[in-house]
């Protein structure tokens, strides 16, 4: 998770902003957040065409203005994503519904950005929503980022949801090996003994066996 930033909004860099000289200063945010901000900034600026509306939303410190973008009809997707992402990083729970929708979007970059913001949001509904998305067989093609978010949250819902999702992937010719691998790795990270049976089943699948061995090694043995 990201470290606490209070309720301050992270201001995204505008196209006209001066680049700091080498060695001039370091970002106050972790490298991971820097990378996510940079990726989202570049992507949404391209989608928006670099309009004045983009620059305004990227630079405003007004929570209410951003929240209004989420409820006003006719707003483009890039604007809704930008508003939700910034509110999420600021811990404003008005972003929750929009971020959950983006977490299950067909475009992986939107899912990844939403997962980062939801991890920072601190809304108690997040783990339950991520578990519902991860275990929804109708949307399993988009379950990768909900699975990764559950691992990051380490919530009570995390292990049961990952076990359920992985169990369903252990069928011949299942096309969602990326989701299965994320579950295996995540269960190893969480280190919960309840995952042992399904990880042992995963050993029989060549594409998962190596990761399953590593995951099992990370789970403490019960005495």
Residue 2 has pLDDT above 50, yes or no: no
Q: Which of 12-21, 32-41, 46-55, 145-154 has the lowest mean pLDDT?
A: 12-21
Cβ neighbours of residue 205 under 8 Å, at least 6 residues apart? 170, 180, 212
Per cent of the chain over pLDDT 70 is 84
**Residue 20: its pLDDT value, please?**
41
Better pLDDT: 217 or 223 = 217
Listed in order, the ranges of the chain carrying CATH 1.25.10 are 29-123, 124-223
Phi-psi map region of 74: left, alpha, beta (phi>0 left; psi -120 to 50 alpha)? left
**Residue 58: its pLDDT value, please?**
92
Residue 104 has pLDDT above 80, yes or no: yes
Confidence of residue 27 (pLDDT cuts 50, 70, 90): very low
Confidence of residue 199 (pLDDT cuts 50, 70, 90): very high
Residue 23 has pLDDT above 70, yes or no: no
Per cent of the chain over pLDDT 90 is 80
**Residue 55: its pLDDT value, please?**
94
Confidence of residue 165 (pLDDT cuts 50, 70, 90): very high
The whole-number average pLDDT for the span 189-200 is 98
Confidence of residue 13 (pLDDT cuts 50, 70, 90): low
Average pLDDT, the chain: 88
**Residue 37: its pLDDT value, please?**
80
Q: Mind giving me the DSSP string for 96-149?
A: HHHHHHHHT-SSHHHHHHHHHHHHHH--TTHHHHHHHHHT-GGGGGG-HHHHHH
CB atoms within 10 A of CB 99: 26
In whole angstroms, give the CA distance from residue 111 to residue 99: 9
**Residue 190: its pLDDT value, please?**
98
pTM score: 0.84
Confidence of residue 161 (pLDDT cuts 50, 70, 90): very high
Distances (CA, A) of 103 to 75, 89, 99, 144: 19, 15, 6, 10
Fold for the domain defined by 29-123: 1.25.10
In the numeric block, which tokens belong to residue 76? 């483009």
**Residue 221: its pLDDT value, please?**
86
Confidence of residue 25 (pLDDT cuts 50, 70, 90): very low
**Residue 187: its pLDDT value, please?**
99
Fold for the domain defined by 124-223: 1.25.10
């Amino acid at each position: 998770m990201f470290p606490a930033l209070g309720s301050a909004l992270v201001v995204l860099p505008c196209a006209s902003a001066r680049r700091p000289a080498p060695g001039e200063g370091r970002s106050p945010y972790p490298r991971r957040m820097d990378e996510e901000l940079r990726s989202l900034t570049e992507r949404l600026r391209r989608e928006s065409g670099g309009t004045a509306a983009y620059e305004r939303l990227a630079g405003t410190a007004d929570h209410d203005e951003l929240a209004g973008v989420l409820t006003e009809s006719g707003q483009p997707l890039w604007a809704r994503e930008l508003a939700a992402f910034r509110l999420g990083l600021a811990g404003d729970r008005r972003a929750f519904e929009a971020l959950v929708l983006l977490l299950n979007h067909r475009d992986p970059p939107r899912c990844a950005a939403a997962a980062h913001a939801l991890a920072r949001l601190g809304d108690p509904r997040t783990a339950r929503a991520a578990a519902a998305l991860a275990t929804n067989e109708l949307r399993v093609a988009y379950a990768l980022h909900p699975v990764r978010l559950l691992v990051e949250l380490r919530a009570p819902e995390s292990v049961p949801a990952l076990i359920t999702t992985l169990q369903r992937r252990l069928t011949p010719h299942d096309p969602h090996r990326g989701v299965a691998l994320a579950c295996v790795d995540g269960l190893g990270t969480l280190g919960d003994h309840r995952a042992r049976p399904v990880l042992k089943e995963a050993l029989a699948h060549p594409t998962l066996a190596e990761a399953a061995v590593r995951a099992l090694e990370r789970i403490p043995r019960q005495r």
